[in-house]
Amino acid sequence: MDKAFIQRRRRDLVLAAFLAAIAAVVPFFVKDVYVQNIMVLTLMYAALSQSWNILSGYCGQISLGHALYFGLGAYTTAILFTKFGVLPWFGMLAGGLISALIAMALGYPCFRLGGHYFVIATIVIAEITLLLFQNWDWAGAALGIDIPVRRDSWLTFQFTRSKLPYFYFALVLACVAWFVTWWLEDSKWGYWWRAVKDNPVAAESLGVDVFNSKMGAAAVSAFLVAIGGSFYAQFVSYIDPESVMGFQFSLLMALPAVLGGIGTLWGPMLGAVILIPLTELTRSFIGGSGRGVDLIVYGGLIVAISLARPQGLVSLFSRKPKPAVQPAREAVAS
């Protein structure tokens, strides 16, 4: 274990704690509900993108169907709550476990597919589930589920008077997703994933269990995304298939990581902090006319950034490492 790497990890952890502490006090100064709403969404997307990044960034299995797990989390919580009166906390856990199991079940056939075949399979599977939910009357079909407000409390995870509890939950979620990534980065799994991403054949020959490491990444990733979905259901208290399982959502989840830097620890966070406020602001200031200017700005930005910074914006912050100190594993990760 070389010193520079340990130092970097320690520095990352301190920086994360520092940033989280700052984020935690921000709502005391920003009382505007609209801005608070954007902050909640930013943290949620940061958490989602961080989770997506585990499978697609670190392990290199690009999924454009992660809305499936988000939707499953949202639906599990909503159905358990409205039909059986199960508290969202249990619904959240159930949604996470169901999603992780389904991710592994789908992994069996899908992880044999390479490149674009895999990407399209993830899109198609999410679309099939979306269509089934749209036609499933018991689950509210295309109209979706209205989550009735019982009372404001942490027990029911419902807050009508203030956005703050949602903010803090989203903050914790983002921290957890970040910490899980940080922790896995230096675990056996982390090394396996990067090896699989780089060259699966070489990894296999060196004794990496390629299939199981993909399965592990899928399960962790899906579990965390589903928690995000559960949170979203409680936050907006209304879900329908298109809004939680649509293809757009899969992309929205991936974009912060792509913008910030795929397969990096800070990329998704940085991407979300830039992209989500930008999306929300363009939508409300110039998108209100319904004339698509927000789409023009948004689309143009995606093109510009992906062409200008293929490594993601996070690369702006990393100094050019001296070749002698640069450990091999960092070269793999970047």
Partner 1 sequence: MTAETIIQSLASGLLMGLLYGLIAVGLALIFGLMDVVNFAHGEFLMIAMYATFFLFAYFALDPLLSAPIVAAALFVFGAVVYLLIVRFAVRAKANTGMVQIFSTFGLAVLMRGVAQYFFTPDYRSIPHSWLGGKTISIAGIYLPQPQLVGALIAIAAFAGLYFFIHRTDFGRALEATREDAGAVALVGIDKNKVFALGWGLGAALVGLAGAVMAIFFYVFPDVGASFATIAYVTVALGGFGSVFGAFAGGIVVGLVEAITTLILPPSLKTVGIYGVYLLVVFIRPRGLFGSI
The SS3 assignment for 183 reads helix
- Contact between 295 and partner 1 by CB under 8 A: the answer reads yes
Stretch that binds partner 1, among 123-131, 152-160, 208-216, 269-277 (CB under 8 A): 123-131
Check residue 141 and report its DSSP letter: G
- Contact between 318 and partner 1 by CB under 8 A: the answer reads no
Contacts (CB under 8 A) with partner 1, residues 87-116: 109, 112-116
- Contact between 284 and partner 1 by CB under 8 A: the answer reads no
Contacts (CB under 8 A) with partner 1, residues 64-83: 64
Contacts (CB under 8 A) with partner 1, residues 130-149: 131-132, 134-135
Report the C-alpha gap between 272 and 254 in whole angstroms. 10
- Contact between 123 and partner 1 by CB under 8 A: the answer reads yes
Using only the alpha carbons of the chain, give its radius of gyration: 20
Contacts (CB under 8 A) with partner 1, residues 262-281: 262-263
CA distances for 176 relative to 22, 195, 250, 305, angstroms? 16, 24, 21, 28
Residue positions counted in the chain? 334
- Contact between 121 and partner 1 by CB under 8 A: the answer reads yes
- Contact between 320 and partner 1 by CB under 8 A: the answer reads no
- Contact between 253 and partner 1 by CB under 8 A: the answer reads no
Q: Which is nearer to partner 1, 135 or 162 (CB)?
A: 135
Q: Which is nearer to partner 1, 34 or 108 (CB)?
A: 108
Q: How far is the CB of 97 from partner 1 (least distance, A)?
A: 24
Here the tokens at position 75 are: 């639906």
Q: Is 207 left (phi over 0), alpha (psi -120 to 50) or beta?
A: left
Q: Which is nearer to partner 1, 39 or 217 (CB)?
A: 217
Query: Across the strands, what pairs with 180?
Result: none
Q: How far is the CB of 119 from partner 1 (least distance, A)?
A: 8
- Contact between 22 and partner 1 by CB under 8 A: the answer reads no
* Contact footprint for partner 1 (CB under 8 A): 62, 64, 109, 112-117, 119-121, 123-125, 127-128, 131-132, 134-135, 247, 251, 255, 258, 262-263, 290-304, 306-307, 310-312, 334
